[in-house]
Amino acid sequence: MNFELRGYFRSPDTVFFTFLFPILLLAIFGVAFGSVGEIGALPDGTGGVTMAEYYVPGMVAAGLLLGGVQNLAVDIAREKSEGWLRRLGGTPLSPVSYFIGKAGMVLVTSIAQVALLFAFAALALGVDLPTDPDLWLRFAWIFVLGIITMTLLGIALSAVPRSSRSATAVVLPIVLLLQFVSGVYLQFSMLPEWLQNVAGIFPLKWLAQGMRAVFLPEHFAAAEQSGAWDLGLVALNLGIWLVVGLVASLVTFRWQRRS
């Protein structure tokens, strides 16, 4: 895992587009929409949040997507195309050990990213983070389930690109499109119902919804498609995609690219 971490932080483009990108976007959105004031206030004028506060859960979800799906899909496809995996396949290293290293790297970088995101949100943008321990327990299980799911999906997706050159072109449009339709950059309630239904097929929508259930006031649940946080469905859908990612990874992984 130490080797994976050193390689990760020695790659400027990877650090920028998977580690710092959500933090930079939060800064941009927080500053750009700062003049809007609070949104979602109750009739008595209480319970509103700033735009910076509103974007925090989406940025957390996006960070897990970028660190797990985008980073691993591109990184493993590159290693496979350049022959690194073929050489590793000739050593005693097992695929399980290889993926434990990758998963450990995603876990460590995701924790560091979220800690930095929270620190920036609180200190620079004045975001009030939750103080209820139950909300942090909720965050913990959604975060862990999200990391595992996105890691396995990233491994599975790495089998799609045919070369290191095509990896970015294949992965980035998928990741970008999911962020726009899953309530990361746009308020989910603003999307037409049919697009909300399409987004509900994919895990990022449920991960973002779970994070909103942690960081936004309870009455914001009324803006969700069902009018509730539906944490049971969040767990179920992430769990289904976890199994899909695991099965696809086991079926498609090879030490070398198929000709």
Q: What backbone phi and psi angles, to 5 degrees, belong to 49? A: -130, 155
Nearest to residue 17, comparing CAs of 155, 176, 127? 176
pTM of the model: 0.92
Per-residue pLDDT of the chain in tens (259 residues, 90 and over written 9): 666 666 667 677 777 778 889 999 999 999 888 888 899 999 888 899 999 999 999 999 999 999 999 999 998 888 887 777 777 667 777 777 888 888 999 999 999 999 999 999 999 999 999 999 999 999 999 999 999 999 999 999 998 887 777 888 999 999 999 999 999 998 899 999 999 999 999 999 999 999 999 999 999 999 999 999 999 999 999 999 999 999 999 898 776 655 4
Q: Can you say how many angstroms the Cα of residue 76 is from the centroid of all Cα atoms in its chain?
A: 18
Give me 50's structure tokens: 């700033």
Nearest to residue 40, comparing CAs of 51, 31, 30, 29? 51
**Read out DSSP for the chain?**
-HHHHHHHHT-HHHIIIIIIHHHHHHHHHHHHTGGG--BS--TTS-S-B-HHHHHHHHHHHHHHHIIIIIHHHHHHHHHHHTTHHHHHHTSS--HHHHHHHHHHHHHHHHHHHHHHHHHHHHHHS-------HHHHHHHHHHHHHHHHHHHHHHHHHTTS-SSHHHHHHHHHHHHHHHHHHTTSSS-GGGS-HHHHHHHTTSHHHHHHHHHHHHHS-GGGGGGSTTSS--HHHHHHHHHHHHHHHHHHHHHH--SS---
Nearest to residue 141, comparing CAs of 29, 239, 69? 239
Nearest to residue 171, comparing CAs of 18, 60, 69? 69
For residues 62 and 119, the answer to whether their CB atoms sit within 8 Å is no
